[in-house]
Structure 1
Amino acid sequence: LATGEQLCLQRGFTGMGLSELLKTAEVPKGSFYHYFRSKEAFGVAMLERHYAAYHQRLTELLQSGEGNYRDRILAYYQQTLNQFCQHGTISGCLTVKLSAEVCDLSEDMRSAMDKGARGVIALLSQALENGRENHCLTFCGEPLQQAQVLY
């Protein structure tokens, strides 16, 4: 799954051939099909793994990072900006990479992307709401709508 994620970040999902994945990961074809019924099923598992790790990092930052909620939200975006400045792209964001080919992805993969993105938005929304309640953030509208705009 980690190898597939790296290949997808470089080539996209449709650009990543199954043969290339298996060769790079040093996995026999039979072993692959023991765990995944198709490349698309692999893609769903890869997205679920990616978002689980992303959600864990974001939860840790937003719930127990330094400073108040405003500081933590700004730190989240500063990390993204730093990564962009270092690599010239948002290199670790599978959502951004795969969004360009979402029409070519299976319904299950689109659903996994949607679920993952909704989870990120929910975390941001909760942090915005907490920041508003703690008087360190002021904004118009509902936290969920603001989180959708920010994400």
Structure 2
Amino acid sequence: MKITETNRLSLRWVEESDAGFILTLLNEPGWLQYIGDKGVHTLEDANLYILNGPRAMYAQKGFGLFLAERKLDHTPIGLCGLIKRDGLEDVDIGFAFLSAYQTQGYAYEAACATVEFAKESGIKRLVAITSKDNEPSSKLLEKLGMTSDGYVTLPNDTEELKKYGLKI
């Protein structure tokens, strides 16, 4: 189901048929370094990730991580969307793109569209979290107008993360 689009991207629900892409993205060096190993090492794992992650959140909240694909050739290049996490009072914006499509403005484009979607959905405040050493994500969040909101450690985790906030 298509959610929104930008000049170059379509954002849509992640489908089970996207398992190959999810397997690739979740095993990219940047994902593993900054987000962590989600234990997705086979197509079956990727399918379970889709069903228990994005698809479950769509059913519960009406939003989740959306697949960003180029309109030009329908190539899936990343995820960008909204997540309701345990340990965070507000809805969180998250994004991850294949390394081949980073530094080309795609993540910013998708994130702007996601902020607009959140606003249209009645969400009043967004937060974002990132590891302390993830400068590219921090810069993108600041470019979105988000400001530092201290640090947070999520339940069942030990890493202290940078937290950003934005009233929309």
Q: Normalized against structure 2, the TM-score is what?
A: 0.27
Q: Normalized against structure 1, the TM-score is what?
A: 0.29
Q: Between Structure 1 and Structure 2, which shows a larger proportion of strand residues?
A: 2
Q: Between Structure 1 and Structure 2, which shows a larger proportion of helix residues?
A: 1
Q: Greater relative contact order (Cα 8 A, min sep 6): structure 1 or 2?
A: 1
